[in-house]
Amino acid sequence: MAITTSLSGKTAVITGSNSGIGLGIARELARAGADVVLNSFTDREEDHALARDIAKEFDVTARYIKADMSKADECRDLIAQAGACDILINNAGIQHVAAIPEFPTEKWDAIIAINLSSAFHTTAAALPLMRKAGWGRVINIASAHGLTASPYKSAYIAAKHGIVGLSKTTALETAEEPITCNAICPGYVLTPLVEAQIPDTMKEYDMGRDEVIRNVMLTRQPSKEFATVEQMGGTAVFLCSDAAAQITGTTISVDGGWTAL
């Protein structure tokens, strides 16, 4: 059988995809021919414009659906509104940094809800659609922090470790079906949000751009280079391809060697 990466005729739902990694993945899936459903918790004209631009650029169907990933019913309703979900990318996430004794309860609850529980709810809603279609891919965006840890990020690290475990369980429950589930574990990715942090970090450490990136921001990333949103998207496209049909229940690190240390 010829190996193909064409995703024509498939519908991909990507949570948290109006910017950054999620949008990068949506664009690469559309480039491969998939129809895409973008999502975030806002409902702005620019959100819908992103979908229109993708549809025009890649000649696919693209929609934007508002859904708050901190709410279980909205997670499940997102999949229902999409109508089809051959590819599910669980990407939505937030972060908060504090020591455990000072970590606000509401921040813990929000991070666990958005970064972990949302993936359970969307997966639970999507699997019946994948089974009906006879094919499916679930890709959870974890983190290098899904495989290792850092101080002051207790909720984020707990959630990302949980995402890795959820990916394994989903893979085992679908192992005899043409459905796979894997987790991508990025290191530091150059998103617009990260790019915006560079000038302030330069001022804080009194360093030039290249020095602050290499010695401060990427201190744990041996390659000393950011990953890109396009690389995240390319990895997702690979996991959706025929070549990855027997890759399930595992993690793929895109972290410049972080987890090799």
Domains in the chain, number: 2
Query: Is 3 among the domain residues?
Result: no
Per-residue pLDDT, 34 = 98
- Return the CATH number at 156: 3.40.50.720
Identify the pLDDT of residue 223: 98
Residue 2 belongs to a domain: no
CB of 122 within 8 A of CB of 15?
yes
**Do 36 and 128 fall into the same domain?**
yes
Same domain, 177 and 201: no
Q: Are residues 127 and 95 in the same domain?
A: yes
Q: Is the Cβ–Cβ distance between 256 and 187 less than 8 Å?
A: yes
5 inside domain? no
pLDDT of residue 93: 97
Q: Identify whether residues 202 and 114 lie together within a single domain.
A: no
∠ CA 182-250-227 to the nearest 5 degrees? 70
In a domain, 37, yes or no: yes
Task: Output the pLDDT for position 1.
Answer: 62
Identify whether 205 is part of a domain.
Answer: yes
64 as an active site residue: the answer is no
- Give the residue from 251, 212, 253, 216 showing the smallest Cα distance to 231: 253
Q: Which domain holds residue 62?
A: 11-188+228-254
Q: Write down the pLDDT at residue 5.
A: 76
Q: Are residues 39 and 120 in the same domain?
A: yes
Cβ–Cβ < 8 Å for 12, 35: yes
Whole-model pTM?
A: 0.97
* Residue from 219, 226, 220, 225 nearest 205 by CA: 219
**Nearest-5° Cα angle at 249, 248 to 255:** 95
Picking from 75, 95, 76, 79, the residue whose alpha carbon sits closest to that of residue 87 is: 79
What is the residue-level pLDDT of the chain in tens, covering all 261 positions?
667 779 999 999 999 999 999 999 999 999 999 999 999 999 999 999 999 999 999 999 999 999 999 999 999 999 999 999 999 999 999 999 999 999 999 999 999 999 999 999 999 999 999 999 999 999 999 999 999 999 999 999 999 999 999 999 999 999 999 999 999 999 999 999 999 999 999 999 999 999 999 999 999 999 999 999 999 999 999 999 999 999 999 999 999 999 998
Candidates 64, 152, 156, 205; catalytic one = 156
In a domain, 120, yes or no: yes
